[in-house]
Amino acid sequence: MVDIKWNTSKKNTSGEFAAVYARYSSHNQGEQSIEGQLSEAQKYAAACGYTIVQEYVDRAKTGRTDNREEFQRMLKDTAKKQFSVIILWKVDRFGRNREEIAINKMKCRKNGVRVEYVAEKIPDTPEGVILESVLEGFAEYYSLQLSQNVKRGFSKSAAKCQVIGGTRPLGYKTSPDKKYIIDEDTAPTVRLIYSLYAAGATVPEIIIKLNKQGYRTNRGKPFTRNSLHSILKNEKYIGIYNNNGVRIKDGVPRIVDDELFYKVQEMLKVNKRAPAKTWARADYLLSEKLFCGKCGAVMFGESGTSKTGAKHNYYICSHKKRFKTCDKKAVRQTDIEDLVIKATCDLLNDSELLDLIIENTWNYYQAQDNSQEELRSLIRQLEQTDTAISNLIRAMEAGIITEETKARMNELTQQKAELKAAIADRELAKGFHLQKEHIAFYLYDLRKADLNDREVQKRLIQTFVNSVFVYDDCVKLTYNFSGNKSAVTLKMLESAESGEGFGRYAQCSTNPI
């Protein structure tokens, strides 16, 4: 077996502790196995000088949502400071859309944990940031395509009113032809719940009664408010099959009659308490990227009301808010975000600069992608092993049979099996090959996107913007520069302006905000 030569020139080899996360989709599309992901992560860690202290594995889980037990446990564990690196097979292990990936990374960053990928080498450069954004975009595209294919399969089953994944509602079981049939052991519990609620019993009273008498949910657990409400609102109990928009009357055997069901629905509406009057949480695009031009501290989003009672969202200097050591005025959220988006769009509309970014990003990707060389090396070794086996067979046919030749044959046979497995893994891992045209399409497509779309704005800022410094009389934007991906500090910016270059940055002077 050949050891993979990882590029560790920019890794910290000071004996950091690391965690590994592996996920294997329930819709296997030729992806790397759990064991393969863990094995490659261990080799990667060894090459980088990391010590793996924890492994998190979600088997047969989809990345379309973050409802992954081990993944969520890993995110929580980042706060324990037991490891500083998370090793993943590819970008799509961390979520299947840009928003989820960005949020998950932010949670890790706040706890001082960074994310590194085994199968996708992303350099710590401006091009690396852009490359990572492109890969995240294609991971989301692949996920949506897979989701559509799965939904098409579900639609066929739904048309037949068949049970499709998930957990069956209490009161039903599945027939051999995958249809819903009444479970006579648990259906009476459903009827009891509806009768009690219709008679005026409260949800807490029903829960206490059911649990005290030993009734359990379809998962075998005690009843809770959530499990009870899901039963009281489920139309399947009056025979309506409903799955992903496919709604068929009398598609399921009914357990409750219409009169009782709709009486309960009206009572649920009456008994529902009005939610507390709260503000919707504002979506601050420049979180972790906006800094005070006076003291260099991070500025964070906050909401407030004016004397007229109108709500306003703005960014405020953290030193001013927490320590009262800075007098920088707060800036309106819409003003600063609109300015940054416009300035970034101006950069994106510079075709010459964009082509340079595409070219550099592609060159970095090619330089980092050594998967083909690894595959060729494995194939060469397999050919050499086959030759050695053939030579040994000829020797044995000539009568040279000793304990040593038998041992050597066993060794070569084992080596051949391992090489074939490694080659199969590499072939499966190749998956989608990023091309220069894909990078160009992704970045040029941003120019045509609707800039009023919040998701498009997030993509722009995530891909290009490194830091934004807000002064009383101007705003200075810095874009991703050569070096690591950490934010440019005020001191670095001032050094660059005085002639000490540290990389590229752009400046946009405006009136005070």
With 90 as the cut, is the pLDDT of residue 159 above it?
A: no
pLDDT confidence of residue 127: 58
The stretch 134-149 carries a mean pLDDT of 54
pLDDT confidence of residue 7: 40
Segment 302-330, tens digit of pLDDT: 888 777 777 889 999 999 998 899 999 99
- CATH number of the domain where residue 37 is located: 3.40.50.1390
pLDDT confidence of residue 260: 93
Instruction: Give the lowest-confidence range in 129-133, 141-145, 301-305.
Output: 141-145
Q: How sure is the predictor about 193, in pLDDT bands with cuts at 50, 70 and 90?
A: very high
The stretch 341-345 carries a mean pLDDT of 87
With 60 as the cut, is the pLDDT of residue 213 above it?
A: yes
pLDDT confidence of residue 111: 87
What is the percentage of the chain residues whose pLDDT exceeds 90? Answer: 23
Segment 65-75, tens digit of pLDDT: 456 789 889 99
pLDDT confidence of residue 506: 41
pLDDT confidence of residue 117: 85
pLDDT confidence of residue 158: 59
Helix (H) or strand (E) holding 134: helix 126-159
pLDDT confidence of residue 364: 72
With 90 as the cut, is the pLDDT of residue 196 above it?
A: yes
Most confident of 372-386, 427-441, 482-496: 372-386
In a domain, 153, yes or no: no
Most confident of 22-36, 122-136, 338-352, 427-441: 338-352
Residue among 33, 34, 47, 69 nearest 116 (CA): 47
Most confident of 49-63, 129-143, 203-217: 203-217
With 70 as the cut, is the pLDDT of residue 288 above it?
A: yes
Tell me, yes or no, whether 178 and 256 share the same domain.
yes
With 60 as the cut, is the pLDDT of residue 483 above it?
A: no
Render 228-272 in DSSP notation, one character per residue. Answer: HHHHHT-GGGGTEEEETTEEEETSS--SS-HHHHHHHHHHHHHHP
Residue ending a domain, choose from 377, 405, 430: 430
The stretch 402-414 carries a mean pLDDT of 86
Q: How sure is the predictor about 275, in pLDDT bands with cuts at 50, 70 and 90?
A: very low
Mean pLDDT across the chain: 77
pLDDT confidence of residue 109: 81
With 50 as the cut, is the pLDDT of residue 114 above it?
A: yes
Our count of domains for the chain comes to: 3
CA distance 177 to 190: 24
pLDDT confidence of residue 400: 83
With 80 as the cut, is the pLDDT of residue 44 above it?
A: yes
Tokens, residue 503: 């990389």
The stretch 225-250 carries a mean pLDDT of 86
pLDDT confidence of residue 68: 75
Segment 68-102, tens digit of pLDDT: 789 889 999 998 888 999 999 887 667 655 556 76
In a domain, 173, yes or no: yes
In a domain, 333, yes or no: no
pLDDT confidence of residue 14: 52
Q: How sure is the predictor about 436, in pLDDT bands with cuts at 50, 70 and 90?
A: confident
In a domain, 189, yes or no: yes
382 vs 502, residue with greater confidence = 382
- CATH number of the domain where residue 240 is located: 3.90.1750.20
Q: In terms of residue numbers, what domain contains 217?
A: 160-271
Q: How far apart are the first and last CA of the chain?
A: 61
Tell me, yes or no, whether 181 and 244 share the same domain.
yes
pLDDT confidence of residue 137: 60
The stretch 249-255 carries a mean pLDDT of 91
In a domain, 358, yes or no: no
Tell me, yes or no, whether 104 and 177 share the same domain.
no
Q: Is residue 332 within 8 Å of 301, Cβ to Cβ?
A: no
Tell me, yes or no, whether 110 and 175 share the same domain.
no
Tell me, yes or no, whether 111 and 167 share the same domain.
no
Residue ending a domain, choose from 100, 119, 138: 119
Tell me, yes or no, whether 203 and 266 share the same domain.
yes
List CB contacts of 31: < 8 A, sequence separation 6 or more: 24, 25, 428, 429, 431
List CB contacts of 271: < 8 A, sequence separation 6 or more: 202
Q: Is residue 240 within 8 Å of 252, Cβ to Cβ?
A: yes
430-437: Cβ within 8 A, 24+ apart: 430/371, 430/375, 431/30, 431/31, 432/138, 432/142, 434/134, 434/135, 434/138, 434/365, 436/358, 436/359, 436/362
233 vs 92, residue with greater confidence = 233
Residue ending a domain, choose from 403, 430, 457: 430
pLDDT confidence of residue 286: 92
Instruction: Give the lowest-confidence range in 320-334, 423-437, 476-490.
Output: 476-490
